[in-house]
Chains A and B, each alone.
Chain A
């Protein structure tokens, strides 16, 4: 996490999205994880 990351307030919730492209089998499959980043 960069030292100079701009935060909205003292801490902010960020969302990580991982996307797998399985082609014709299931299409794109996504998942998300939230993390709270503070100073």
Chain B
């Protein structure tokens, strides 16, 4: 068996992409006074800095296929194979239930390529009362000639966050990309915000953009935030940057014209691991990131003494966390498939308090959750079926997304933040199919993810 870079891929996915919230459920108010800086609006197509490709790519949706969504009214299509899709704007790692779901469909008006977009701009699940959107007549350089890519005219979407939260208008550039039978649609916000800020002793350029998700606003922790001149990995506004021995919190106005940089001056608590009653040394947290309702921290930035981590007081959950225990290294991860669902667990189980250490002992045994085939599924011979199962702590919405055998080192590499990482063989889940007599008819391994 060859070594697998499972854990590295798992860790790196934190960077690829994958709100204003109540501080009572998040990290402690930083308390320190902040300094306010002005940001200017820039076109993502005129911007030439290192975040250019992320800003231009926009929010992707892979939720495209040949099946219409239930309960949605569609216009009559010319195409024999219209593309049906859904995009979740305001998707958030920080607020698992956040999200504004929009339906769309793409037609071939002349039977010679996809050239008509129907998007539920007025958000009433009825695409028959939305104007058809044609191809972009004057696409920006770089987007107009991408192979397999079709750019549509800009859309203006009003994102309604409900009473008391406001409506935020946002222009997006929809782009269809076909790869074989698969279709992907990207939504790019054509403008971003840019300016210079002081972070610790360093002056850096900050760019805010709606790269992970379209929100129409810049004040949420999920807002893309790119700093030049720093070797940081997670480009979130909610990521607390650690400079000169201090965490710095960035916050922005909804319009993104002002950003405040405030050093954290609040209390700290302790996160440690416990045995959970097992007759072994406690697990070791190797690296990772944790998030609260409004903050995102790199564990590597937190001071560590005798295996105990010092963290700002708050309620967190593992976003990505690599833990070594005996002969296994496991990758804990938020179950991102649940994001945006009304029933997604909103649990931040790592309760860091100033007066009492939080002990992470892995005493709750996870369970195997099948995502495919669905329960009650009836199949016919000759039909394709994929088996997808994950190992989950259903209560907290956390899953074990990687398992490695630490006795089988395959090499080493560097994490996106520059730290060294040993690589080990992946311990892939085993799958076996038995008939009603208990006889095995098929077996094999199933990749993670």
Inter-chain contact count A-B, CB under 8 Å? 121
Check B367–A24 contact: CB distance below 8 A. Answer: no
Of A15, A18, A22, A39, the contact of B434 (CB 8 Å cutoff): A15
Residue of A nearest to B283 (CB): A25
Across the interface, which residues of B come within 8 angstroms of A21, CB to CB?
A: 403, 427, 430
Q: B280 — nearest CB in chain A belongs to which residue?
A: A24
Bound-complex Cα distance A23 to B365 (A):
13
Among candidates A8, A16, A24, residue contacting B436 with C-beta atoms closer than 8 Å: A8
Q: Is the CB of B434 within 8 A of A23?
A: no
Q: Which residues of A contact B370 (CB under 8 A)?
A: 16, 18, 31, 33
Q: How many residues of A contact B (CB 8 A)?
A: 33
Q: Is the interface of A mostly helix, strand, loop or mixed?
A: strand
A24 lies within 8 A of B435 (CB) = no
Please tell me if the beta carbons of B435 and A8 are within 8 angstroms of each other in the complex: yes
Q: Do B434 and A37 touch (CB < 8 A)?
A: no
Map CB proximity to B onto A7-39 as digits: 1 under 8 Å, 0 otherwise. Answer: 110011111111111111110011111011111
Given A1-B385, A3-B382, A21-B427, are A35 and B373 also a contact pair (CB < 8 Å)?
Answer: yes
**Contact between chains at A18 and B431 (CB < 8 Å):** yes
Chain B residues near A33 (CB-CB < 8 A): 370, 373, 375, 389
| Contact between chains at B431 and A14 (CB < 8 Å) | no
Interface string of B438-449 (1 = CB under 8 A from A): 000100001000
- Residue ranges of A at the interface with B (Cβ–Cβ < 8 Å): 1-5, 7-8, 11-26, 29-33, 35-39
Q: Contact residues of B with A, CB < 8 Å?
A: 278, 280, 283, 325-328, 330, 362, 365-370, 373, 375, 377-385, 387, 389, 391, 400, 403, 405, 427, 429-437, 441, 446
In the complex, the 7 A-B pairs of residues with the closest C-beta atoms, listed nearest first:
A31-B368, A24-B326, A23-B328, A18-B389, A33-B370, A19-B430, A3-B382
